[in-house]
């Protein structure tokens, strides 16, 4: 769909004349097994309307019950964002009519959110840090999905009819809202992208969501306004909805800055409205005029008890917050002594956690890294899957590395083909050549001790006599040693090499 062409100001001119102010609203779908207020499963991609019940369909007489594990995730997210956790807060009904909202209200939180007043120190591309203040994080339920059929655009306009899927209705959501972000200047688009990137990484490390932007488990709305340089009163903002990739966040903010600047410079006014983002050309176009809070007629949800997390629970959850992933990465890079470039390759390959686990399983860093980033990345590409979907894991890769086997790639191939653990493959396939050096040396010593006369011959320089010892070792290892290497070891042991 082509967006209406807007006049855009040159970016350098925007910066010379205006200060951008941003506000980011991020919705994250929690990865709980069941929905926010009922026991329906939350799995993505099921047949439409197969994961519904009277509660999430809003049937009369049904009553919601809060999902404890969703509250736990909400608290952990709040703590990770340095927020205060409310000791007591009610859910609220947000009333609006829309077909994907079967109750005609959404259970949300309004003036008593679970988490308030935090911040996130966001790493930027050049290594600097930008502090983004967090207004609040609150719990709510997701809506269903409408599918508008028969039109060219997939939007309701021009459609002949609409289909509704309530599988998503009632899936737990956390909405994280920033305070107005000021002072980013020309880096505002980058800050917006970096913030969502950091938040996504953080949520992933908390294991509260799969944070898949392309599947809608992380959704971002970007509020943008401009004020003249030196002013202190914010301009009117627009809210660009559902900007669903990290790159799009940056593009949308930059576009809105340039569009609004052109409007303002021409003496026009910015209307407070939502806007649609167009992936194809990176533009935005008008959506609907913005509702105000009054339009929603919020009131406390009478069917649910207030949330009252006790201090001990919150303290315990605080102990489960991991190191920020970007700080962890920086620490590991320096521990491993890797260059930025090498480390970036390993991150881009999605191999960091696999390499860490392989090192934890006893492998040296370089070997672990090269297996995952080179051979296994190649295998993953062939199969068109991610590294972590390969049928080989860190423990097996570490085992392969420990085998120190010349045919390690073959061993890996057989493991990938489902033939079992590396050691089993080696035994079954007779691939045990040159396995453990020290075991081999022990076999050599044993064979020498068993034939002292031959050993003496070899020691006195009759190297052709070594053949008998090599043969004995090959017999003892059931043919799985590398005969040439065994010969070297025999000669070494006899001081004849």
**Chain residues in the site for Mg ion (CB under 5 A):** 25
Least distance between Zn ion and beta carbon 36 (Å): 9
C-alpha–C-alpha distance, residues 140 and 135, integer Å: 16
45-84 mask for Zn ion (x: CB under 5 A)?
A: --------x-xx----------------------------
Site for Zn ion in 431-460 (CB under 5 A): none
Decide which of Mg ion, ligand ADP, Zn ion, none touches 283; Cβ closer than 5 to 8 Å per partner kind.
none
Site for ligand ADP in 279-338 (CB under 6 A): 290
| Closest by Cα among 376, 379, 330, 385 to 351 | 376
- Interface residue with Zn ion among 28, 40, 174, 490 (CB under 5 A) is 40
| Closest by Cα among 243, 313, 307 to 22 | 243
Task: Give 181 or 211: the residue with its C-beta nearer to ligand ADP.
Answer: 181
Q: Could you tell me which residues are beta bridge partners of residue 24?
A: 222
Task: Give 25 or 445: the residue with its C-beta nearer to Mg ion.
Answer: 25
Least distance between Zn ion and beta carbon 41 (Å): 9
- Interface residue with ligand ADP among 27, 90, 237, 276 (CB under 6 A) is 237
Regarding 32 and contact with ligand ADP (CB under 6 A), the answer is: no
In this structure, the strands spanning 115-123 and 105-108 are unpaired
Regarding 228 and contact with ligand ADP (CB under 6 A), the answer is: no
CB 222 within 8 A of CB 152: no
Task: Give 2 or 232: the residue with its C-beta nearer to ligand ADP.
Answer: 232
Regarding 38 and contact with Zn ion (CB under 5 A), the answer is: yes
Regarding 169 and contact with Zn ion (CB under 5 A), the answer is: no
Regarding 134 and contact with ligand ADP (CB under 6 A), the answer is: no
Number of residues that bind Zn ion (CB under 5 A): 5
**Residues 6 or more apart whose Cβ sits within 8 Å of residue 428:** 419, 420
Task: Give 135 or 190: the residue with its C-beta nearer to ligand ADP.
Answer: 135
- Interface residue with ligand ADP among 54, 180, 185, 322 (CB under 6 A) is 180
C-alpha–C-alpha distance, residues 58 and 95, integer Å: 13
Least distance between ligand ADP and beta carbon 207 (Å): 26
Least distance between Zn ion and beta carbon 65 (Å): 11
Task: Give 25 or 421: the residue with its C-beta nearer to Mg ion.
Answer: 25
Task: Give 38 or 253: the residue with its C-beta nearer to Zn ion.
Answer: 38
Task: Give 21 or 490: the residue with its C-beta nearer to ligand ADP.
Answer: 21
Decide which of Zn ion, ligand ADP, Mg ion, none touches 53; Cβ closer than 5 to 8 Å per partner kind.
Zn ion
**Applying CB under 6 A, which residues contact ligand ADP?**
21-25, 135, 177-180, 223-225, 234, 237, 239, 290
């Amino acid at each position: 769909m082509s967006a209406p062409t807007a006049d855009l100001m040159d970016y350098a001119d925007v910066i010379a004349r205006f200060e951008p102010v941003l506000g980011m609203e991020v919705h994250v779908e929690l990865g709980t097994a069941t929905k926010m207020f009922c026991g329906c499963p939350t799995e993505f991609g099921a047949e439409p309307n197969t994961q519904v019940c009277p509660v999430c369909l809003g049937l009369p007489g049904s009553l919601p019950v809060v999902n404890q594990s969703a509250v736990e995730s909400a608290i952990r997210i709040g703590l990770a964002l340095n927020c205060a956790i409310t000791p007591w807060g009610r859910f609220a009904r947000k009333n609006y009519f829309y077909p994907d909202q079967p109750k005609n209200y959404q259970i949300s939180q309004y003036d008593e959110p679970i988490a308030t007043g935090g911040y996130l120190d966001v790493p930027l591309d050049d290594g600097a840090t930008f502090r983004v203040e967090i207004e609040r994080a609150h719990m709510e339920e997701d809506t269903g999905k409408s599918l508008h059929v028969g039109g060219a655009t997939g939007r309701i306009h021009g459609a002949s009819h609409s289909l509704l899927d309530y599988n998503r209705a009632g899936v737990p959501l956390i909405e994280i809202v920033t305070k107005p972000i000021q002072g980013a200047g020309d880096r505002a688009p980058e800050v917006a992208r970096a913030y969502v990137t950091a938040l996504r990484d953080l949520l992933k490390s908390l294991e509260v969501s799969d944070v898949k932007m392309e599947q809608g488990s992380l959704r971002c709305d970007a509020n943008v306004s401009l004020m003249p340089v030196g002013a202190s009163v914010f301009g009117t903002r627009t809210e660009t909805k559902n900007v669903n990739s990290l790159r799009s966040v940056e593009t949308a903010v930059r576009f809105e800055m340039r569009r609004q600047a052109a409007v303002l410079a021409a003496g026009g006014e910015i209307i407070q409205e939502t806007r649609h983002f167009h992936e194809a050309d990176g533009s935005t176009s008008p959506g609907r005029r913005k509702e105000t809070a009054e339009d929603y007629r919020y009131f406390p949800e009478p069917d649910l008890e207030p949330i009252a997390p006790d201090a001990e629970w919150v303290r315990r959850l605080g102990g489960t917050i991991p190191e920020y992933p970007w700080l962890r990465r920086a620490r590991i890079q320096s521990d491993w002594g890797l260059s930025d470039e090498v480390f970036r390759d390993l991150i881009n390959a999605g191999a960091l956690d696999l390499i860490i686990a392989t090192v934890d399983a006893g492998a040296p860093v370089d070997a672990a890294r090269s297996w995952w980033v080179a051979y296994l990345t190649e295998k993953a590409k062939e199969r068109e899957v991610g590294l972590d979907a390969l049928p080989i894991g860190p423990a097996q890769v570490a085992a392969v590395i420990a085998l120190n086997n010349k045919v390690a790639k073959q061993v890996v191939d057989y493991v990938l083909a489902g033939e079992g653990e590396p050691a089993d493959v080696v035994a079954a396939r007779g691939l045990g050549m040159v396995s453990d050096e020290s075991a081999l040396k022990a076999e050599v010593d044993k064979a020498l001790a068993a034939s002292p006369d031959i050993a003496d011959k070899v020691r006195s320089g009759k190297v052709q006599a070594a053949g008998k010892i090599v043969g004995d070792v090959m017999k003892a290892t059931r043919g799985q040693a590398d005969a040439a290497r065994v010969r070297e070891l025999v000669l070494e042991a006899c001081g004849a090499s």
